[in-house]
Chains A and B, each alone.
Chain A
Amino acid sequence: DVKVTQSSRYLVKRTGEKVFLECVQDMDHENMFWYRQDPGLGLRLIYFSYDVKMKEKGDIPEGYSVSREKKERFSLILESASTNQTSMYLCASSSLSGTGGVKAFFGQGTRLTVV
């Protein structure tokens, strides 16, 4: 069974801490994505990567950075966590078809609370 695994299901961090959210996929997918999910706002794209060491900003990149050193792993970094980053974070992966028609596979989400 194909899998996207996020390192934590729940996380509580203090304001100002550096936070790492890890995501691993086992499908040899080129594309990996980090989305943020908030009630009433749906899912919004933070960053995505289409290859190792490549990254592109999504719609809401401010306050976040990412790292992709290996094809299967995509990390989201909150350099200095703030309370307005309290949210659900979803990682996804997909193959690179170039047509937009491929299915994305999602992790189970990390609910991050910044206190």
Chain B
Amino acid sequence: AQTVTQSQPEMSVQEAETVTLSCTYDTSESDYYLFWYKQPPSRQMILVIRQEAYKQQNATENRFSVNFQKAAKSFSLKISDSQLGDAAMYFCAYPNFGNEKLTFGTGTRLTIIP
């Protein structure tokens, strides 16, 4: 069974600075996807970024980028130029191949300091 581990329950960063959230996972599959979801105080989960394992290039979405290390089974999220609206819970997730059910990490609560 797949497992997803987020070892940082809480992180904080100064506004406009850069922060990196960590995620490790375990799988026996060779091709798969990985996601980062954001849950702001409104509770609406939003997909932030997606990485396909066979792609060497790290995914990027505006200020959000990932550092994907397949051999190390590591999938960290970097947020550049942090903004107040980035304050949220961030969940790393691994989707099951074939039925899309997600295995989530325990989450990292990100606080932005003005």
Contact = CB atoms under 8 A, between A and B. Distances in A.
B16 interface: no
A84 interface: no
Main secondary structure of the interface of B (DSSP, over half): loop
Interface stretch (B63-71, B75-83, B101-109): B101-109
B100 A102 contact: yes
Given A43-B104, A48-B99, A88 B47 contact: no
Given A42-B105, A100-B98, 13 more contacts: A33-B102, A40-B106, A41-B106, A88-B43, A90-B45, A95-B100, A96-B100, A100-B100, A101-B50, A101-B52, A102-B100, A109-B43, A109-B44
20 contacts: A31-B100, A41-B106, A42-B4, A42-B6, A42-B105, A42-B106, A43-B102, A45-B101, A45-B102, A88-B43, A92-B102, A99-B33, A99-B97, A100-B98, A100-B100, A101-B50, A101-B95, A102-B95, A103-B50, A108-B43
Interface of A: 31, 33, 35, 40-45, 48, 50, 56, 58, 88, 90, 92, 94-104, 106, 108-109
Interface of B: 4, 6, 9, 32-33, 42-47, 50, 52, 91, 95-107
